[in-house]
């Protein structure tokens, strides 16, 4: 019985302390991070599609579009690491997350964006895996566990995280042939505000409605959540008193537009789940729009 899983995960914006690269910057934003980093992952093609990981149309397009948007918002290309398709093996991704993150320190922001498949552990639905290029669904442990990603980031001391997941099947395992009941990652997200192991102020965003089919659109050439996220980041989400689109505006915009846009193209309403670990009220003031000083 062939298993179909869909998760497009746009993951983490982490605030952390600064590392000096070729000399420490003399300017610092009053309330924002010093440096901005992004690990952008998009996997549309899989080594073992016959195991249940069907190839996707636009997951790598999503990663390309996120990288392009970050550059237009002032992010430094040297601090964006994009990995797609054949390069996104488990070995390579583990090396990046365990090694490359050492460059990020506690007052920086880090974005980890993941577009591709994902699935929960059948024995424990709070244990969620991301499918790498070489994941074999007949051997589910060949995926990359989400909690390991989270723990690695936490161990690096990165304080403020935003996990953004564009999730069509909400991490749910769906049997294509008979629609058998699957599992959702929503309980994992629901536990975030009560998770004492997470630093205060990590944000998690995901379109995680259980039992929803894939919503990719040939006109957009993106998944629905990424499409809405890009529009929101471009200014459609509105701006704060400083003329910037902050996380609060993005949150409200995504909650409104993702259901509407998914309903337009598929008659299926996807509802994003957006939550945060407790303890830092001004986390929603963060913005992805950098000044010239931060981009240098």
Inside any domain, residue 239: no
Average pLDDT over residues 210-218: 59
Q: Which helix (H) or strand (E) holds 173?
A: strand 173-175
In which band, very low, low, confident or very high, does the pLDDT at 116 lie, cut at 50, 70 and 90? confident
Total count of domains within the chain: 1
Q: For residue 189, what pLDDT is reported?
A: 58
pLDDT classification of 148: cutoffs 50, 70, 90:
confident
Q: Is residue 132 part of a domain?
A: yes
Question: What whole-number distance in Å separates Cα of residue 257 and Cα of residue 182?
Answer: 26
Lowest mean pLDDT among 30-44, 60-74, 79-93: 30-44
Tell me the residue range of the domain where 26 lies.
3-213+273-283
| C-alpha 243: how far from chain center | 25
Higher-pLDDT residue of 13, 103: 103
Q: What is the mean pLDDT of the segment spanning 5-10?
A: 38
Within a domain: 204: yes
228: in domain: no
* pLDDT at residue 78 is higher than 60: yes
Task: Please count the other Cβ atoms lying within 10 Å of the Cβ belonging to residue 253.
Answer: 19
Residue 184 sits at φ, ψ, to 5 deg, of: -115, 150
- Whether residue 233 is contained in a domain is answered as no
Is 242 part of any domain? no
Look at residue 212 and tell me whether its pLDDT is greater than 70.
no
Write down the pLDDT at residue 246. 92
The whole-number pLDDT of residue 233 equals: 95
Yes or no: say if 43 and 59 are a contact pair by the CB < 8 Å rule. yes
Give the closest residue to 207 by CA, choosing from 3, 8, 61, 5: 8
Distance CA 290, CA 57 (A): 31
Q: Which positions ≥6 away from 46 have C-beta within 8 Å? A: 53, 54, 55, 117, 131, 133, 135
- C-beta separation of 79 from 100 below 8 A: no
CATH number at residue 102: 3.40.50
* CA-wise closest residue to 227 among 274, 260, 186, 179: 260
Please say if the pLDDT value at position 7 is more than 70. Answer: no
238 vs 159, more confident: 238
* Predicted confidence band of residue 54 (pLDDT cuts 50, 70, 90): confident
Neighbour-count burial for 150-167, b at 16+ CB within 10 Å, e otherwise: beebbebebbbbbbbbbb
At a CB cut-off of 8 Å and minimum separation 6, what does 57 contact? Answer: 44, 216, 218, 221
Residue with tokens 């914006």: 13
Neighbours of 35 (CB within 10 A): 25
The whole-angstrom separation of Cα 10 and Cα 229 is: 10
236 pLDDT higher than 80: yes
pTM > 0.85: yes or no: no
Residue 26's pLDDT band (boundaries 50, 70, 90)?
Answer: very low
Cα angle for residues 42, 43, 48 (degrees, 5° grid) = 170
What single DSSP character describes residue 116? B
Pairing mode, if any, of strands 203-207 and 162-165?
A: parallel
pLDDT at 119: 79
Orientation angle between helical segments 59-72 and 224-231, nearest 10 degrees: 10
Give the pLDDT mean for 234-243.
93
Asked if pLDDT for residue 190 goes beyond 80, the answer is no
Rounded CA-CA distance 79/71 in Å is 10
Q: Is the Cβ–Cβ distance between 225 and 207 less than 8 Å? A: yes
Q: Is residue 291 part of a domain?
A: no
């Amino acid at each position: 019985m062939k298993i179909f899983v869909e998760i497009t995960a746009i993951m983490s914006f982490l605030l952390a302390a600064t590392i000096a690269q070729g000399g420490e910057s003399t300017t610092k934003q009053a309330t924002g991070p010093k440096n901005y980093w992004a690990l952008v992952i998009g996997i549309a093609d899989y080594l073992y599609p016959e195991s249940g990981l069907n190839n996707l149309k636009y997951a790598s397009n999503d990663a390309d579009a996120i990288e392009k948007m970050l550059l237009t918002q002032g992010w430094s290309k040297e601090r964006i690491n994009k990995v797609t398709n054949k390069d996104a093996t488990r070995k390579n991704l583990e090396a990046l997350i365990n090694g490359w993150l050492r460059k990020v320190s506690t007052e920086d922001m880090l974005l980890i964006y993941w577009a591709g498949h994902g699935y929960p552990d059948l024995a424990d639905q709070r244990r969620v895996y991301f499918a790498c290029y070489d994941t074999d669904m007949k051997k589910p442990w060949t995926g990359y566990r989400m909690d390991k990603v989270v723990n690695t980031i936490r161990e690096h001391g990165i304080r403020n995280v935003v996990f953004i997941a564009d999730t069509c099947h909400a991490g749910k395992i769906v049997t294509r042939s008979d629609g058998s009941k699957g599992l959702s990652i929503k309980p994992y997200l629901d536990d975030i505000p009560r998770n004492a192991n997470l630093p205060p102020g990590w944000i998690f965003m995901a379109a995680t409605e259980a039992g929803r089919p894939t919503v990719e659109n040939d006109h957009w050439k993106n998944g629905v959540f990424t499409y809405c996220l890009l529009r929101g980041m471009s200014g459609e989400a509105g701006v704060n008193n400083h003329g910037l689109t902050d996380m609060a505006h993005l949150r409200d915009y995504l909650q409104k537009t993702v259901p509407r846009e998914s309903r337009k193209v598929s008659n299926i309403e996807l509802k994003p789940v957006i939550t945060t670990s407790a303890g830092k009220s001004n986390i929603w003031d963060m913005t992805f729009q950098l000044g010239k000083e931060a981009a240098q």
